[in-house]
Structure 1
Amino acid sequence: MTKSYSAEILEAQQRTIRFGLTCPEISSTCERLLTPERHEQFPYAVRDAVGDLGLEAVVAQCLSLHWRLKEPLEEFFGVPILYTIGYVHTPPSYMFRQSESDLLRLLQTGIQGPQLNIHAWLTLPSAEIIDLSLPTSFAVVNKMKDGLGGVIAAHADELNHGLRYHPMLLGEDYLRRIGALVEFNTYGI
């Protein structure tokens, strides 16, 4: 049986603390926050927060994009949102998969180059996730028109086609410690 996303979030919280990182508090609710009304207003909230996003602002920019959107979307939803680092299962393969030992090694050595094989998204207290970069990045890498400008915004346990998000760490402290937040500053963050 597959673990629930909420159970994986709790494991990510424990891992974050075990790594000696600052861990944000987790709040939870059973109430769905991604209502039809919110889905309708969502593109405008994103545009108001970061402007119109071109491909260059989305493709391979998950770390900075979701960091920039965290606070404005907290205001939009009226709840604290978790900046979530992890990997994604897109059957039959995994994207951005890092083991706990891989993450710990990176924490000890820091980033060594411009490429960083991790993924980030936002998690609402309802275990709903928001990922504005994966569909477009996937479409560009695979030279597909389907998916460009796409957004994943749904309950993490109810995604289609076997898609599954696996949180590994919570908050931005990991990125600061490995040297990735320095890169964010070049993008105005």
Structure 2
Amino acid sequence: MSYLKEFKAAASRTKKLNLGEFAVAETPFPIDQTILNAVEETGHIPFTERAGKAMSVNFGMFHMLSKKFHIPGGIITMGNVSINNEMRLPVTPTHFKKMIKNKTGEEEMGSYHLWTTLPGGIILDHVMPSALHKDGIMTVNEAIPAERFLHGQADELPHGLTYHPMILGLEFFIASETIDREAMEYLMGEKFPKQYE
């Protein structure tokens, strides 16, 4: 199944859970490589320490992309990633429903992966290259910002990578009690981004 089909299924699932309505534009929105490199260089967690820290790294990068660099159309996406058809994490759509029902988001942050979906089904992920480098699946030159993140068409990624979106958007973090609404409103509101000025 193509990434955009899986994304649409995740959007439908998210809507049924009353967590918002999402659609990604099917035409890619090109982002200049210098902006992508600038987002990467703004990250505060060193490359070698990113593996397994998708929430703190990719959420932070999503925030900078939307609030500092004002790149439109990005959607925070949660799910699983497979390498050569082998899933890296044990999460399923039912898992996300249970996290919402049981309010266990904070405890279960490491059970799923998150990344940014950009228009056209483009993936932006600042964690997976660190994990793959650590596992010896790929070699990364840490001195080159563009090698420290993954940016590409989801259906054409290297290393046998396939992303599987299962739930979308920031509201999931609130509903699962990963983060409270007041903190999310502060982070994504107009006051917090002034740090970037």
Per the TM superposition, whether the score is higher than 0.5 is yes
Distance 1:32 1:168 in 2: 23
Deviation string, structure 1 residues 40-64 (Cα, Å, up to 9, x no partner):
442223324x34x314762322112
Aligned to 1:127: 121
- Unaligned stretches of 5+ residues in structure 1: none
User: Structure 1 stretches (4+) deviating beyond 6 angstroms?
Assistant: none
Query: What is the identity, as a one-letter code, of the residue corresponding to 1:81?
Result: G
Q: Once the 2 structures are TM-superposed, how far is the Cα of residue 147 of structure 1 from its aligned partner?
A: 4.0
3-state DSSP of counterpart to 1:164:
strand
After superposition, the CA RMSD in angstroms is: 2.8
User: Residue 88 of structure 1 contacts residue 97 of structure 1 at CA under 8 Å; is this kept in 2?
Assistant: no
Distance 1:43 1:165 in 2: 22
**1:54 aligns to 2:52 (yes or no):** no
What TM-score comes out, normalization by structure 2 length? 0.75
Matches within 5 A, 1:110-125: 110-111=103-104, 113=107, 116-125=110-119
Matches within 5 A, 1:1-189: 3-23=1-21, 25-34=22-31, 38-48=32-42, 50-51=43-44, 53-55=45-47, 58-74=50-66, 76=69, 78-111=71-104, 113=107, 116-140=110-134, 142=135, 146-147=139-140, 149=142, 150-181=148-179
3-state DSSP of counterpart to 1:70:
helix
Name the CA shift for 1:108/1:131 in 2 (closer, same or farther; >3 Å).
same
Name the CA shift for 1:123/1:137 in 2 (closer, same or farther; >3 Å).
same
| Identity, % of aligned positions | 19
- Unaligned stretches of 5+ residues in structure 2: 143-147, 188-197
User: Residue 80 of structure 2 contacts residue 89 of structure 2 at CA under 8 Å; is this kept in 1?
Assistant: yes
Q: Once the 2 structures are TM-superposed, how far is the Cα of residue 72 of structure 1 from its aligned partner?
A: 2.6
User: Residue 78 of structure 2 contacts residue 167 of structure 2 at CA under 8 Å; is this kept in 1?
Assistant: yes
Tell me the matched-pair count: 176
Query: What is the identity, as a one-letter code, of the residue corresponding to 2:38?
Result: Y
3-state DSSP of counterpart to 2:94:
helix
Q: Once the 2 structures are TM-superposed, how far is the Cα of residue 104 of structure 1 from its aligned partner?
A: 1.3
Distance 1:128 1:97 in 2: 24
User: Residue 129 of structure 2 contacts residue 138 of structure 2 at CA under 8 Å; is this kept in 1?
Assistant: no
What TM-score comes out, normalization by structure 1 length? 0.78
